[in-house]
A and B are shown apart, each in its own frame.
Chain A
Amino acid sequence: MTDDPIAALLIRVAAQDRAAFADIYAAAGAKLMGVLLRILGNRAEAEDALQEVFTRAWLRAGRFDATRGRGMTWLITIARNHAIDRLRARSPQSIADDGEAVASLPDTGRGPLSGLVAQGEARRAVACFGELDPIHSAAVQGAYLEGASYEILAARHNVPVNTMRTWLRRSLLKLRECLDR
């Protein structure tokens, strides 16, 4: 708890402490904005989503349990869920448009995890992702970090949607086996 200032602030927010709420905005807002921008790819929508995320954080702070996870993780989960809900709720036409736009982004050839300073749990995660086929690993990370759908990932990797679904499911089972080891 002492090394988790966001958790301490969330506990105060659960007690309706508005000053703590403002402190959380200052401390966590930039990271959450990063999450929303990465998934939604559009600053105006990310800013709209950020307001929703902080509204939900205020309303749900009473259920944050500092013994079961870090405060920032809890906030990122709210942000990811909200951003992915927005993506999935877009019209089929806009999904098709996004699919083309995202699929045409150049592949930097650098997996997101390669930028990690791997410590503890993160080091284990790097090792387990390293046991996957590199293409499958990139697909799993693309799904998680960008909210990419099966359709978008399939287009990006130029495989049928069912093949992508099978890749990801098999990868998830392998990750579970490795991470729970």
Chain B
Amino acid sequence: MTNDIPKQDEADIMAAEYVLGTLPHADRLAAETRMRRDAHFALAVKRWQARLEPLNDSYVDAPLPNLLPQIEARLFGTLPKKSPFWKSWFAGAAVAATLGLAVLAFLPGQNVQPLTTLAAENTDLRYDVSQRGDDLRITRTAGPAAAAGQVHEVWLIVGNATPISLGLIDGAALTLATTGLAPGMVIAISLEPTGGSPTGTPTGPVLVTGVIS
């Protein structure tokens, strides 16, 4: 930080640079993590979005290809019959997840709707995935957190599409504003360096996976 920016402005400048888009990838991911934890920072980001919003008028329409069928197939379509690529990440994980679900089905529901358990055969690590209203909650129920310098990153995989990062789990749980998950979608956890995958797709080993029932 240059020495002519007042210290109290540093967080607000970081929020502004996040909205502007100039932060390097690792800093962008750090800003997104901070938005989830720090309500003041999240508000600062919202205020900068509002300040710079008039610039959006400078974007002009471009010819729109009809990609709706592909998008709908990803979100609502049938899963490919052949083994999708993510299964090669961890053979048996899907079976383990199904077994985990069978146990979960007997637990009292309340308002929480269990979706799946993330598991794999050669690890004790388990995450429960549940939906409560608009919130998707991913909670570590067994096994260790990531070691220092590493983090568990959550991915959503629909069909054969590129995984979508849902966020980083530093502690034991992550709550996400996410609705619309459909049966057949896959949630996976990969091990990534602190700050998350530097490439936007999983770079470390996939630890556990589960299929939304």
Q: Which residues of A contact B (CB under 8 A)?
A: 14, 16, 18, 21-22, 25, 29-31, 33-38, 46-48, 50-52, 54-56, 58-63, 68-69, 72-73, 76-77, 80, 84-86, 88-89, 112-113, 115-116, 121-122, 124-126, 140-141, 143-145, 147-150, 153, 162, 165-166, 168-170, 172-173, 175-176, 179-180
B103 at the interface (CB under 8 A from A): no
B54 at the interface (CB under 8 A from A): yes
Count residues of B near A (Cβ-Cβ below 8 Å): 57
- Please determine whether B55 and A88 come into contact, CB atoms closer than 8 angstroms: no
- Please determine whether A62 and B2 come into contact, CB atoms closer than 8 angstroms: no
Top 6 nearest A-B pairs by Cβ distance? A62-B179, A125-B54, A89-B200, A88-B25, A63-B177, A62-B134
With A88-B24, A144-B20 as given contacts, are A34 and B59 in contact (CB-CB < 8 Å)? yes
Which A residues touch B75, using CB under 8 A? 55, 58
How would residues 61 to 74 of chain B score, 1 for a CB under 8 Å from any chain A CB and 0 otherwise? 11111011011101
A97 to B101, alpha carbons, bound, how many Å? 48
- Please determine whether A116 and B57 come into contact, CB atoms closer than 8 angstroms: yes
Which B residues touch A169, using CB under 8 A? 2, 5, 13, 17
Which A residues touch B64, using CB under 8 A? 29-30, 33
A51 to B59, alpha carbons, bound, how many Å? 19
The DSSP consensus for interface residues of chain A is helix
- Please determine whether A179 and B51 come into contact, CB atoms closer than 8 angstroms: yes
Interface residues of B in 144-171 (CB under 8 A from A): 156, 158, 161-162, 164
> Which residue of chain A lies nearest to B52 when distances are taken between CB atoms in the complex?
A144
Instruction: Give min CB distance, A53 to chain B, whole Å.
Output: 9
Q: Count how many pairs of residues, one from A and one from B, have CB atoms less than 8 Å apart in the complex.
A: 167
How would residues 1 to 32 of chain B score, 1 for a CB under 8 Å from any chain A CB and 0 otherwise? 01011000100110011011111110010000
Which B residues touch A72, using CB under 8 A? 56
- Please determine whether A88 and B28 come into contact, CB atoms closer than 8 angstroms: yes
A170 to B6, alpha carbons, bound, how many Å? 11
| B180 in complex: contacting residue of A62, A89, A173, CB < 8 Å | A62
Which B residues touch A46, using CB under 8 A? 62
Which B residues touch A30, using CB under 8 A? 61-64
- Please determine whether A145 and B156 come into contact, CB atoms closer than 8 angstroms: no
- Please determine whether B5 and A173 come into contact, CB atoms closer than 8 angstroms: yes
> Which residue of chain A lies nearest to B20 when distances are taken between CB atoms in the complex?
A143
Which A residues touch B12, using CB under 8 A? 176
- Please determine whether B180 and A34 come into contact, CB atoms closer than 8 angstroms: no
With A89-B200, A115-B58 as given contacts, are A18 and B2 in contact (CB-CB < 8 Å)? no
Instruction: Give min CB distance, A142 to chain B, whole Å.
Output: 10
Which B residues touch A115, using CB under 8 A? 58
- Please determine whether B181 and A143 come into contact, CB atoms closer than 8 angstroms: no
Which A residues touch B19, using CB under 8 A? 144
Which A residues touch B72, using CB under 8 A? 18, 21-22
Which A residues touch B23, using CB under 8 A? 88
